[in-house]
Chain A
């Protein structure tokens, strides 16, 4: 059980290049997310998905695209890299905790992908 796996861990891009950050989870979670974290800041939600074939925008979706063709995978695509996209990217997935308080949303995060755009 690997949890949430992100690849690559590090990447340097030139302005205008494209790339895809990969995210895979093996916990059969329906919900998946992409966050970015700039130095000294909190996490900002880019896109999320509540199931295969369903995606929606978060706070900062511009410059990114996602797809969710399977439950396990949620890749994040950068089409035209810009220096403003230099950041650490975290993928997460979640399940619904069934306890006395149903409907809770507990996220498991990956280790992050550090992207530098020069």
Chain B
């Protein structure tokens, strides 16, 4: 399974866009990019996923580079409640869906 690299921490002003980068240079063609976040000590929460096209939902946007070696999660208008650890992970599509490995993620701090 491909590994990911994320900066350990970032900060962002409330109301501004938060752009969280992720490198996954060894990703294979059949692997999705997923983003989750963990607020304080709660269970992680799914945000968004993508394969090769950019994706948007009510929580965030996901931009994946054309070569698929990196991606950016965008929170368009960050709020204090978006302060959390954000995990970028890759997972194989298809029959071997069992394994999703989480790294240490990026601690995003949104300040007033």
Chain A residues packing against B (C-beta within 8 Å): 4, 31, 33, 35, 41-45, 48-50, 56, 58-59, 88, 90, 92, 94, 96-97, 101-112
Known: A45-B101, A105-B91. 14 other contacts (CB 8 A): A4-B43, A33-B98, A41-B104, A42-B104, A43-B87, A48-B99, A50-B98, A97-B49, A103-B94, A104-B34, A104-B93, A107-B100, A109-B43, A112-B42
Asked if A45 and B100 sit within 8 Å, CB to CB, the answer is yes
Does B46 have its Cβ within 8 Å of any Cβ on chain A? yes
Asked if B41 and A112 sit within 8 Å, CB to CB, the answer is yes
Q: Which residues of A contact B34 (CB under 8 A)?
A: 104-106
Q: Can you list 18 A-B pairs, Cβ within 8 angstroms, ordered by A?
A: A35-B102, A42-B87, A42-B103, A42-B105, A45-B100, A45-B102, A48-B99, A90-B44, A101-B93, A102-B93, A103-B32, A104-B32, A105-B34, A105-B93, A107-B44, A107-B46, A109-B43, A112-B43
Q: Which residues of A contact B50 (CB under 8 A)?
A: 101
Instruction: Decide if the interface of chain A is mainly helix, strand, loop or mixed.
Output: strand
* Min distance, Cβ A9 to any Cβ of chain B, angstroms: 11
Which chain B residues in 5-38 approach chain A with CB under 8 Å? Answer: 32, 34, 36
Asked if B43 and A92 sit within 8 Å, CB to CB, the answer is yes
Report the number of A-B residue pairs with Cβ-Cβ less than 8 Å. Answer: 73
* Min distance, Cβ A98 to any Cβ of chain B, angstroms: 12
Q: Which residues of A contact B75 (CB under 8 A)?
A: none
Interface residues of B, CB < 8 Å — how many? 25
Q: Which residues of B contact A49 (CB under 8 A)?
A: 98
CA distance A105 to B42 in the complex (A): 20
Does B54 have its Cβ within 8 Å of any Cβ on chain A? no
Q: Which residues of B contact A104 (CB under 8 A)?
A: 32, 34, 49, 93
* Min distance, Cβ A22 to any Cβ of chain B, angstroms: 15
CA distance A48 to B99 in the complex (A): 7
Answer whether A109 and B44 are a contact pair too, CB < 8 Å, given A42-B87, A42-B105, A101-B32.
yes
